[in-house]
Every structure is written in C-alpha cells, then in structure tokens.
Structure 1
Amino acid sequence: MSTIMIAKVKTITKGGMDAEITGIDPVAMREIIIGTVNQENVDWDCYGICRDNPEEYNLNIDRQEVLDVIATAKKLCNS
C-alpha cells in the first residue's frame, strides 16, 4: 500500500457515525480511500462503500466533502 496522506476530512457515514478520511491509495485495486469510522481503521472504494463492514460504515456521498475526496481519488487512480 502506498497511501498519499491528506489533511483529515471529518464527515459522517450513512449510519450517522463519525468518520475521518485520511488518505488515498492510488495503487489499490478497490478500496482507494483510507480513514477511520469511530476510530477504527477502514477503507472505502470510489463509491464510498466500506466492503466487509456494516452498511452504516459507508460514506454519505451526498456530503460535499466526500464528493471532493472521491473526485480527487478518481483523478489520482485514473478511474
């Protein structure tokens, strides 16, 4: 994993949980967005899905700060 660390982006998951986005992994195959949910390390794909975790961990992609990170991640990953 070669994560590019970014300034922490505080947000809320679809389940209303506190989340922080802390990095982007441009060489990852699926989960390219790195961060935490309730201080637990997790990662998300470019659609905000946190695979192998409860649905409540998915990012709320209606929030502008999440859309901005997803757009940046897609540019870095050429997705």
Structure 2
Amino acid sequence: ESQPWSSRFRPCTLKEIAGNERAIRQLQTWLKSWGKGIPKQRATFLFGPPGVGKTCSVIALADDLGYDLMEVNASDYRT
C-alpha cells in the first residue's frame, strides 16, 4: 500500500463525489457535447483552491464516459 491516502480513497465515479453538483453537471454536459462533434467551446478551465475536487472530478467523469485521460500539470514544465 504505497499509494498516498488521497489516491487510495479517491472517488472512482461521479456518484461517489460529494458536493459541487452544479459544476460537475456543467462539466459533464460540456464533455458529452464532444460526442456530437467539436463543440463551440473547445476548452474548459477549472480553477479553485487545492483540495476542492477539480482533478478528482475530471478523472471520475472521464472514467464514467469512457474517455482516456492525459493529465498535464503546468508546474511540471516550469524552470
């Protein structure tokens, strides 16, 4: 069990996420629009303080909808 607690108990589906219902619903609607072709709004930006569930929500949503996810963190590329 070398995984950190936050990874080991991270919600795996949207049903397991508590709170932020409106924001998650908006994100889900936007992501589903890609199934109909390239949407008018081609990108989205998630922001907020650490620990509110931004990354967790995206991972769970991508998994629920069957999308492969590639995570890029800007801090990985700073010099």
Of Structure 1 and Structure 2, the greater strand share is in 1
Of Structure 1 and Structure 2, the greater helix share is in 2
